[in-house]
Structure formats: C-alpha cells, structure tokens
C-alpha cells in the first residue's frame, strides 16, 4: 500500500513490526523535517541558477526611481523652464511681500524702487533716461550693421550683412514676386471700385 504496510489480512505481530519500522523511519527523517521547516525557499531562473530576490528588488527600485526622475524632468521641460523659473520667482516675491507689514511707509526701499522703475506718461525725465540707457547700451559691443544705401526688399525682410557691397546679384525673383503681389492688390481694388461704382 501507499503507506508502506501490507494489504489484506495480517497478524498482530506483522502489524507491530510495520509500525516500529514506520516510527524508526519517521525518527530518522525528523531532523530533515526540522531543517526544512526553518529553511528559506530557493528561487531559480530558467537556466537553474539561484536568483537573488533582494538584489533584483533593489535593481527594480533603482530603475523605477530613475524612470520617475526622468518623467519628472520631461514634465518640467514640457511645461517650460523659463515659465517655471518665472513662477518660482513670483512665488518668492509673493512670500517676500507677505512677510512685510501691511502698512508701507515712506522709507520702504522696495516700494521706492518699484515706483522709480515705473514709466509714467507725460514724464519729462523719461525721455532723458531712455536716451541715457540707449547710450549705455550702445557702448556695449554690438554686431556691426550695413550702413549703405537702402537695400532692395526681400520677402523675409532680412537686412543685408555689414560687408555687403551694395550690388544686387539676384535673378529678379524677389522683384517679380513683389510686382505680382502689387498687381493682384491693384486688380482687387479696381474690381471692388468697379463693383460699387453705381451705388
């Protein structure tokens, strides 16, 4: 039988012997049972090597953190870095303003600076300040520009470079294009005038 005892009609002696053998067999396997009770499960991959689950979990966590960081960075880029900086600056300014007292007095430097930076219509000194700022900006190094006679128009309104010698080397396409546009506009205007002539 499956349990290891004889099947059928057996005597009491045979049964006693079989039970003793079963107990002996159980005692000999008892230490194996104790060892297996406290042992950890061994996980293996398809090739039969042992898997280190802690290491795999750590790698998975690092991978997820890197992915989350990358997603956050793409979300920040998608929103716009300049807009993000501007929003951060607005929040900092708002916090700074909240920490100030409600009543502002004449000796408040921030209020004074803000009022000085505002441009008011009809301010006689505003033009002088603009000229002075323009002069300061001019003193800064800027790229040279073409200073010769007026260049021919082009469809992109791009000014020629400062080394241009003033010679038009085009094949005439730009002039033809502008002539077509002017002709079309003149025909449309003439057609409109003709259609409303008898009104």
Q: What ranges do the domains of the chain cover? A: 54-96
d(CA 74, CA 82): 14
Write down the pTM of the prediction: 0.30
Contact 170, 151 (CB under 8 A): no
d(CA 194, CA 73): 62
Q: How many residues does the chain have?
A: 199
What pLDDT score was predicted for residue 143?
80
Mean pLDDT of 136-159: 82
Q: Return mean pLDDT, the chain.
A: 85
* Model confidence at 4: pLDDT above 70: no
**Roughly how many angstroms between the first and final C-alpha of the chain, as a whole number?**
119
How would you class 77 by CB atoms within 10 Å of its CB: exposed for 0-12, middle for 13-18, buried for 19 or more? exposed
pLDDT band at 50 (very low <50, low <70, confident <90, very high): confident
* Model confidence at 193: pLDDT above 60: yes
pLDDT in tens, 53-105: 889 999 999 999 999 999 988 887 887 878 888 999 999 988 988 888 778 77
For the ranges 41-50, 64-73, 136-145, 168-177, the lowest mean pLDDT is seen at 136-145
Collect all residues with Cβ–Cβ distance below 8 Å to 144 and sequence separation of at least 6. Answer: 162
């Amino acid at each position: 039988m499956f349990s290891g005892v004889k099947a059928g009609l057996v005597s009491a002696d045979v049964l006693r012997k079989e039970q003793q053998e079963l107990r002996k067999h159980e005692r000999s396997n008892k230490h194996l049972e104790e060892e297996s009770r406290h042992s950890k499960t061994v996980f293996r991959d398809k090739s039969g090597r042992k898997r280190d689950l802690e290491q795999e979990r750590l790698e998975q966590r690092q991978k997820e953190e890197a992915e989350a960081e990358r997603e956050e960075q793409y979300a920040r880029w998608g929103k716009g870095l300049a807009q993000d900086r501007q929003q951060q600056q607005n929040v900092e300014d708002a916090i700074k303003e909240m920490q100030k007292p409600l009543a502002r007095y004449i000796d408040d430097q921030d209020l004074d600076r803000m009022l000085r930076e505002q441009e008011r219509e009809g301010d006689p000194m505003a033009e002088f300040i603009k000229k002075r700022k323009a002069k300061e900006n001019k003193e800064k190094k800027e790229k040279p520009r073409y200073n010769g006679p007026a260049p021919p128009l082009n469809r992109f309104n791009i000014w020629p470079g400062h080394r241009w010698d003033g010679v038009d080397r085009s094949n005439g396409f730009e002039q033809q294009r502008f002539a077509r546009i002017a002709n079309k506009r003149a025909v449309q205007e003439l057609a409109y005038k003709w259609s409303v002539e008898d009104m």
